[in-house]
Structure 1
Amino acid sequence: MTIQRPMPMDKAAFLAWTERQEENYEFVRGRVVMMTGGLRGHWQIAANLFRALDSRVDHDRWAVLPEFGVDVGPSTVRFPDIVVDPADGPTTDRTATAPVFLAEVMSPSSERVDLGDKAAEYLRLPSLHTYLVVAHDEPKAWVWTRAAGGFPAGPVVIDDPAAVIDVPSLGLALPLADIYRRVRFD
């Protein structure tokens, strides 16, 4: 059996390397971290969220991108489930240029990271206006929306299936029911 030691890598080398990999990875504080595949509910919710956003955004201004890179610090690149970035970005970009909306579909194993580490990293992005985390096992969302004074200390928690999530920076509203359309909970 051969064990390979990790090679030192910077963000540019990591992004070039990920293009040749079949699996999904993130670059977290200088370390390559493999991401798990996710459950059916995760992918259904992420697809619903993509469709809901893509059908509502102004395509001349915004691009809705699934699992696209976001540079969140000197040695960290994340790949949120959904990124909304300006539409005029070059097709050769490997990371978002100025993401205004980021979303993660949270599983029990990713709760600490999605609501903790990633929230702290994402909320420092000067272009970001909304960070949305949605549960995969019930209709529930955690929403951070930037106001004049910045982001609130904590998210607004929405657990009413009839609720609507306002996304002022994109000029749209997302019904929670659309995000969870056709998702069956055990």
Structure 2
Amino acid sequence: MQTAEQLRFNAEEYLTWEERQAEKHEFVAGEVFAMVGARQDHVVVSGNIFAGLKQGLRGTPCRAYISDLKLHVEAADAFFYPDVMVSCHPDDLKNQHYISHPTLIVEVLSDTTAAYDRGGKFAAYRSLESLQEYVIVDIDARRVECFRRTADNDWLLHDYHGDADCEFQSLGISFSLADMFEDIEPV
């Protein structure tokens, strides 16, 4: 990640500044980081997941969002751009700039963000009371790791690979990994 020219912002300053930027930037505890463009496979897989979720959510109060909408994680003093997220919370429908109550977040791994997606970012996401599932997609391994919040507020890993159907239990939706990785050449 690369920092913006100004070294420190508060959340309000970041939101004002970010609206005027051509590129996207994430905000974490006063620091701003430029988002690097994604490779084609990353965009295709994110789009496939978004399309599957959007189709599965028709007629429900939930909405799927792709990576251009910010996620506010107040406990971490952060704004992120997840690859895909779903919110079923009515307050999120009222805010045009970001959501704060996701039920599901999907991050598609890239070489430069994999460690952060699994570590610091997941730690921040876990502070969201609304979050029920955090999904990490590894394109190269054709694998999906779905972490589900348990009744005891622990996170249980469900690992999907091969011919499995990936289940998003919080939404009552599942679809095949073949659909998720459609149009991606074998490694």
TM range (shorter): 0.7 to 0.9
- Where does 1:14-25 land on structure 2 (aligned, <5 Å)? 14-25=14-25
Alpha carbons 1:138, 1:185 under 8 Å: kept: no
The match for 1:8 is: 8
> Contact 2:76 / 2:124 at 8 angstroms: preserved in 1?
no
Match of 1:158, as an amino acid? Y
Q: Which residue of 1 aligns with 2:65?
A: 65
Match of 2:179 in 1: 178
The residue that corresponds to 1:36 in the other structure is 36
Structure 2's unaligned 5+ residue stretches are: none
> Which one-letter code corresponds to 1:165 in the other structure?
C
Matches within 5 A, 1:1-186: 6=6, 8-67=8-67, 68-72=69-73, 73-86=75-88, 88=90, 89-152=92-155, 155-160=157-162, 162-186=163-187
Moved more, 20-29 or 80-89: 80-89
Which letter maps to 1:36?
V
Shift of 1:86: 2.3
User: Offset of 1:132 from its aligned partner?
Assistant: 0.3
Q: How many residues align?
A: 181
Structure (1/2) with the larger strand percentage: 2
Taking the aligned partners of 1:142 and 1:135, their CA distance within structure 2 comes to: 8
Q: Please report how far the alpha carbon of residue 60 of structure 1 lies from its aligned counterpart in structure 2 after TM superposition.
A: 3.5
Which amino acid in the other structure matches residue 97 of structure 2?
R
For structure 1, the 5+ residue unaligned runs are none
Q: 1:168 to 1:33 in 2, by over 3 A?
A: same
Displacement after TM superposition at 1:59 (Å): 4.1
Query: What SS does the aligned partner of 2:56 have?
Result: coil
